[in-house]
Amino acid sequence: VPGEGGTSWRRRPKPREFLIMSGASRQLALFLCVCSVAALGVQAEDAQYVAAVYEHRSILSLDPLSLISRTQALELMNQNLDIYEQQVMIAAQKGVQIIVFPEDGIHGFNFTRISIYPFLDLMPSPHLDKWNPCLEPQRFNDTEVLQRLSCMAIKGQMFLVANLGTKEPCHSSDPGCPDDGRYQFNTNVVFSSNGTLVSRYRKHNLYFEAAFDTPLEVDHSIFDTPFAGKFGTFTCFDILFFEPAVSILRDPEVKHIVYPTAWMNQLPLLAAIQIQRGFSIAFGINFLAANIHHPSLGMTGSGIHTPLKSFWHHDMESPEGRLIIAQIAKNPPGLISTGNTTSKMDIAHSKLLKILAGDLYSEKDAEDIHCDGAPEGNMSAPPTFNSEMMYDNFTLVPVWGKEGYLQVCADGLCCHLHYLRPTLSNELYSLGVFDGLHTVHGTYYVQACALVKCGGLGFDTCGQEITESTGIFDFHLWGNFSTSYIFPMLLTSGMTLETPDQVGWENGHYFLRKSGLSSGLVTAALYGRVYERD
């Protein structure tokens, strides 16, 4: 994706003191919340479906700023589509029913508005009758990519989700019509297993993408499947905003999200797999995320996430892509009543739907999970200091000793930590709080409580990007958030996702509890978004 001027890679500048991720190669991993699985029992095979996501190392244009012909653009895109087709056929042999490919995977990035034009397919109006590009290739011009994707879906007998650049002509009477007489969109498309185009979504929250336009209206793209009901879709940076990522979940039947992305990892709070898993847990849904694979740009991290387990891939060393296949529940475990049939949603999800519908939120409704009261404050509190984390000015306190209780506050948000460390390591950890408007590479209001490993032993290293640690914690982290939209994040050494023991509301506070980490803690965070204050 191009920068503002269309001439630089989409790389977030990092302060010099930030550490470069070591990126130890990690294989596909599965984590189960044992107690929850035991309560739910084994899912019947017909209550599950098989999904796939492909982290693709795209073949890029050597000079994305140059003007080339449509024929030359198709030659490049067909190289990527050849790889897509290979993955579809591998997935078909495994019984996959839906596959997701990443953002920018077909055409690449770093274009200008003019130089990307030969790479754009024409997107017909969604109000037209159903169209099958593979079977009706002559119906519209400049739809070669859509035709290939449609034929892949037929060949693999699966639903297929991909991202491409599209164009839509507009008239000068349209007040939003660009001077060149066309809209250019970053677009997700969905094909059914018979090749029919069943949905399209135009990215709403662009991330320095000068080649594309923002749609005048937000697309709420939902499609139905015979194997798992309703799915929604959005793209990359959209995940941090209410529209459409949260609003699409107002439909209680949407229990699955397909998510093409080209995400650059930024620790300690916004690595790709962190936010993907956090979204899945926060909303109790299945989240199918396909990221682009360009480790030199910090781009890796894909997964098939459910509220109770994740299948993921994060690899900063290998140049190869990765196909992830998993069998997951049609009704995500977080939405199933453990004492009854799969058709009934639990109380917590019903209350979430009230929040999404805009109903008044009450503290009584929030008390779904009970936790112990906070211990008394320490007689001698540790020093408070400030350090930059995620380009924001966090207020922090050091986490010293084998056990204790800490509190740190800023601008109305107070974060609390009760912790026990079986053994001490020669590492500095800190508890941080931020309650304010984030203004770097996007403007959005954040409330965050974060327990993080610092880059060194000095306070000024807290907030740096690290991926390895040895410190083991049993802990209870909570805060008095003013928002209902909080993403729990739990990351351990080697970019390993862990499952919280419990998350939920208690007496107006949102909490995360975990004991028995499998490896050293990197980040435990509650990342809240206050959308109305953006």
**Is 236 considered catalytic here?**
yes
Half-sphere exposure of 263 (CA within 13 A, CB side): 29
Judge contact between 278 and 271, C-beta under 8 A: no
Rounded-to-integer distance, Cα 185 and Cα 466, Å: 35
Instruction: Write the Ramachandran bin of 390: left for phi over 0, alpha for psi from -120 to 50, otherwise beta.
Output: left
Distances (CA, A) of 197 to 103, 127, 128, 202: 18, 12, 11, 14
Q: Helix, strand, coil shares of the chain as percentages rounded to 5?
A: 20, 35, 50
**Is 330 considered catalytic here?**
no
CA nearest 244: which of 280, 285, 213, 201? 201
The catalytic residue among 236, 415, 449, 462 is 236
Looking at residue 348, its amino acid is: A
The stretches of 242-339 forming alpha helices (DSSP H) are 272-283
Which 3 state secondary structure label does DSSP give 312?
strand
**Is 371 considered catalytic here?**
no
> Is the peptide bond preceding residue 260 cis, with omega within 30 degrees of 0?
no
CA nearest 324: which of 335, 310, 338? 310
The catalytic residue among 55, 151, 203, 427 is 203
Judge contact between 375 and 417, C-beta under 8 A: no
Rounded-to-integer distance, Cα 308 and Cα 488, Å: 12
The catalytic residue among 55, 103, 144, 168 is 103
Q: Tokens representing 220?
A: 């709420």
If one counts every other C-beta atom within 10 angstroms of the C-beta of residue 358, the result is: 8
Distances (CA, A) of 246 to 206, 220, 285, 356, 385: 17, 10, 12, 8, 34
Judge contact between 274 and 491, C-beta under 8 A: yes
Could you give the residue numbers annotated as active site?
Answer: 103, 203, 236
